[in-house]
Structure formats: structure tokens, C-alpha cells
Amino acid sequence: MQLSRSARIALRVAAGVGFAFIYVPLALVLVNSFNPDRSASWPPSGLTFRWWSVAWENEGARAALWVSVKAGLGATAIALVLGTLIAFAVARHRFFGRDAISFVVVLPIALPGIVTGIALNSAFSTVLEPLGVGLGLFTVIVGHATFCIVVVFNNVVARLRRTSGSYEEAAMDLGADTFRAFADVTFPLVRSALLAGGLLAFALSFDEIVVTTFTAGPGIETLPIWIFNNMTRPQQAPVVNVVAAVLVLLSVLPIYAAQRLSADTASGSRV
């Protein structure tokens, strides 16, 4: 399509405005973490590294970070196992209800988080609490795993669809048994898809706040919950600023790595 000069210029300007819309807010978060004042007034009166060291010493933020990491690792581990199992079943077998399974996997993330949250919350409190298992880190991991399954599933199923089963059949013709073929042929084929799915699942769990709100017990605080609880407290503002800035820098890493690892990932943290 031959665009006129003015149309090109208009598009450049519009795209430039779009880029500014994307980057300015995040840049402000970074700059604001060096703001010496406790208020969010702009422009900052100066620049200081002081709050970075204060934040580093902050017990609450550190503990919350640790809880987030544990929850993320637990949820990722469960999601990797369950998501891979479903992916193999769906991609390598034909059976009644196959489409229904693909649908159910997406459901925990397609429905609003608050619906998933209260459903799990009422299930946990009616079934688990009489058994003596209260809400806590364990229920957070179960909740997160439920919606992390989909990203592992998506990654692995995309990989399996691109690699036909004939490699495994060839390995078996050469005398490998089912396990041997899996270990020597199938697993290496899906390894990077598993890694990408795992990274995305971890990022998803690390970022989740709604389902966490409903599945965490009173003493359990993940990093998003900590930020949310402290966001409106003026006393905590400088520490929240620094934690937010760190998250801007850190949260894009797993996404970037996952994109590099697997070309067939739709690059989504949710889809």
C-alpha cells in the first residue's frame, strides 16, 4: 500500500504517542524510587539511593518475596507435571471428551480471578478445614497451580503438535521400550517447551494477587499482597517505590527468556 507522506508522518506520530504511553508510566516508577520525598509529587526534589538500602533491610518485603518464591516454585512444579500429562494425552491420543479437556484447562484463567478465588476459597474451607488443613501456603500453591497448568499445557502441546510421533516409533523399532523412547527421544524434544512453560507459570504465579487473596491464610503474604497492603500507607511509600522498581526490572526477565526459548509460545503471560 502506497501511503502518502502525510499519512506516514501521522502514523509515526501516533506510534510515537503509543510508545510514550507504554514507557512513561514504567519510567516514572523507576525514577520515583530515587525520590527523596515520601510523597509522589512530580518532579522529585532530588535523587537519592537511600530508600534502596532501606528497602533492602525491610523485613516485611523480604519475607513476602520469600513466600512468593516458594509459592511460585510449588505451583510451577505441580503445573509442569499436570500440564505435561494433559498435553501428552491431548496431542498423542484421540478420545471422547478431548475438546472438553482443552476447554477446562483454560477455564481457571478465562473466568474472572474473583470467581476462581471464591470457588477455591469455599471449597477449601468446607472440605479441607474439617480435615485440619487450614488456609496457608499449601492452599496458595494449589490455587496458583490450577491456573498455571494452562501455560505449561499450551507450550508443551504446541511443541508436540509440531513434532510427530514418528520419532518415538522409530526409536521403538530400534528396540527402545516406552520409557527409553521417552527419555532419549521425546523428552529432549519437549525440554525447552517445558522450560518456557515453567518460566511463564512461575511469572504468572509471582504476579497473581486475586486468587492469592482468597486462598492465603491470615499469616501468608506474597509480594503482590504486601505491595497492595502497603501501597496506601504514606509511611511505607519509599519502600513500595523501590520494590515496584525492582519488579519492573525483574518481571520482564522470565518472559524474555521464555520468548527466546520457545518460538511457538504466544508470548503471553496469561494466554
Partner 1 sequence: MTSTAQAAGRSPVRRLAGTLHRRPRLRLSLLLIAPLLWLAVLYLGSLAVLFVSAFWTTNSFTSEVVKVWSTDNFHALFTTPVFRQVILRSIGVALAVTALSAVIAFPVAFYTARVAKPRWRPLLVVAILTPLWASYLVKVYAWRLILSQGGFADWMLKPFGLSGPGFGLFATIIALTYLWLPYMILPIHTALEQLPANLLDASADLGARAGRTFRSVVVPMVLPSVAAGSVFTFSLSLGDYITVQIVGGKTQLIGNLVYSNIELNLPMAAALGTVPVVVIVLYLLAMRRTGALSSL
**Contact set for partner 1, span 84-113 (CB under 8 A):** 85-86, 88-89, 93, 95, 101, 104-105, 107-108, 110-113
Q: Tell me which stretch binds partner 1 (CB under 8 A): 7-15, 45-53, 55-63, 190-198.
A: 7-15
Q: Of 194, 240, 242, 261, which lies in the binding site for partner 1, with binding defined by CB under 8 A?
A: 240
Q: What is the DSSP string of 101-169?
A: HHHHHHHHHHS-HHHHHHHHHHHIIIIIGGGT--SSHHHHHHHHHHHHHHHHHHHHHHHHHHS-THHHH
- Which single residue is written with the C-alpha cell 477455591? 120
162-221 residues in contact with partner 1 (CB under 8 A) are: 172, 175, 177-180, 203, 206-207, 209-210, 214
Confirm or reject binding of residue 77 to partner 1 (CB under 8 A).
no
Pick the piece of the chain touching partner 1 (CB under 8 A) from 56-64, 80-88, 159-167, 185-193. 80-88
Nearer to partner 1 (CB atom), residue 54 or residue 81 = 81
Q: Which residue has the cell 500507607?
A: 233
Decide: is 14 part of the binding site for partner 1 (CB under 8 A): yes
The x, y and z cell numbers of residue 56, run together, are 533492602
The footprint of partner 1 on residues 22-51 (CB under 8 A) is 22-26, 28-29, 32, 39-43
Closest distance to partner 1 from the beta carbon of 38 (Å): 12
Tracing cell 511443541 back to the chain, one arrives at 159
Select the residue interacting with partner 1 from 53, 75, 119, 130 (CB under 8 A): 119
Interaction of residue 251 with partner 1, rule CB under 8 A: yes
Surface-to-core class of residue 137, CB atoms within 10 Å of its CB (0-12 exposed, 13-18 middle, 19+ buried): middle
Choices 51-59, 131-139, 158-166, 246-254 (CB under 8 A): range interacting with partner 1: 246-254
Long-range CB pairs of 27-32 (<8 Å, 24+ gap) are 29/241, 29/244, 29/245, 29/248, 30/245, 30/248, 30/249, 32/241, 32/245
Contacting partner 1 (CB under 8 A), which of 50, 56, 66, 122? 122
Closest CA to 204 of 119, 108, 91: 108
Among 4, 57, 131, 132, binds partner 1 (CB under 8 A): 4
